[in-house]
Every structure is written in C-alpha cells, then in structure tokens.
Structure 1
Amino acid sequence: MAHEFQKQRISDWHRSNLGNHITDKTRDIDTQDFTPSQQRSDLHFQVDGLKTLLNELAGKGIQIEDPVVENDFGSFAWIHDPQGQRIELWEPAPWQNNLINLPEPD
C-alpha cells in the first residue's frame, strides 16, 4: 500500500508542478538495445517559457540547480522531484522549428 501512496504522490507532484499526466499506457518501445545499468536515468522535458516556469517552481519552494545553461541549442535547467529523480527542462532555441511530435498513447 505504501508503494501505491508514493506512486500517487509523485504523480500528483508532476501534474501540479509540470503539468504532466502520468499514465500506465505506453507507446510500443523496442528495448532490445537497452542493457541493465546501475545509473539512474534523467527525465527530459521540452518546455515553453523556461524562465517563467522556473520562477513558478521557485515560488513553490522547488530548488533549481545552478547554473541554468544557455547555448546554441536553447536553455536548460534541472530540478528534482520528491524521490530525487533529476529532471531536465529544455526550452529550444528559436531557430529549432523541427520539434519531435509523438502521437498520444491510446
């Protein structure tokens, strides 16, 4: 039961802070090239208005890692969810118009 509570807590955190809806549905993913690893993976999200989002998150007490990185690919920032999962937030540079658009899962 504690696991279900934690799952709901993290789902609620992602929805209220990042607008993400976590679901058990997935797209068809081929995992044959993935091997077991001891490293944790990061979550990466493309966002619009990174500075505004960071101000909102900071206002909720969410710590933003220093530094926020700006380069030719855009602006990048990192936060952590309550479980310590590292989350990258990326706002693409204006010249990047060919963004990846994946269909929603059924």
Structure 2
Amino acid sequence: MAKALGIGGVFFKCRDRQQLSQWYARHLGLAINEQGGVEFNRADLPGNSFSVWGPFDENSRYFSPSTKPFMINLIVDDLATALKQVEAGGATLVGGIEDYDYGRFGWFIDPEGNKIELWQPG
C-alpha cells in the first residue's frame, strides 16, 4: 500500500497574492520564491518539529474568530518576537501564548482574515 509521508504544501486563495506574500516576508521573514510561495527545507527546521494533519469537527471554534474553514500552523524560532512583529504589521493577536511540553503556541489573524497558529517547538 502507498502511504502519505508528510505535508507537501499548504495552498489557499486570497484577494491579493503579491501583497499578502510581501506582508509575510516583511513580518515573519519568509523567503518568497519566483512562484510567490516559500519552500521550507527540513534541514532549516528545529530537530524536534514535525507536521500535523488534523481534521477538526465542522462545529469546532478552534479557528475562531476567523470564519475561514482552515488554519495554518507555522514553525517559528522565537514565538514572542514573531507575535510582536506580526502585530506591528497590523495583525490581530488572538489569545495569549500557551505553553505545552512540546512547545509554545500563539495565534493571530492576518490582513486577509486567516487565523495563523505559530509554534515554537520545545
């Protein structure tokens, strides 16, 4: 049996692709490629990080206050600083930082209303 080996990408629609890509480049340091996306290489990630595929119940409020049916999780190297950067760029922070044995989490709503979860592996 063939099996899926990991997340190959996250793709979503937005109103202004170039503007949103540049916002993420300015406020989270994403290196935008020629196609307008970012390639995250495993060698650049913390050794204790991993990808999650996780369906949620259709009535879940975990993605709130966004009304979008998805949420993107990005691995960061400094959660507190990353949250300050996106807030300075106009994002709305959602809740406070939460600590777990596998890392720290924080959330924000980007300029197009997408809820983004930031994870600093611990």
Ranges in structure 2 where 5+ consecutive residues have no aligned partner: 1-12, 40-57, 59-67
CA separation of 1:67 and 1:59: change in aligned 2, threshold 3 A: same
CA separation of 1:18 and 1:8: change in aligned 2, threshold 3 A: same
Amino acid at match of 1:10: L
CA distance in 2, matches of 1:62, 1:25: 20
RMSD value over aligned CA atoms?
3.0
CA distance in 2, matches of 1:82, 1:7: 12
Higher normalized helix content (fraction of residues): 1
Match of 2:25 among 1, 11, 15: 15
Q: Percent identity?
A: 28
> How many positions carry a matched residue from both structures?
81
**TM-score by structure 2 length?**
0.54
Larger Rg computed on CA atoms? 1
Matches within 5 A, 1:1-106: 6-20=16-30, 21=32, 23=35, 40-93=69-122
Ranges in structure 1 where 5+ consecutive residues have no aligned partner: 28-37, 94-106
**TM-score by structure 1 length?**
0.61
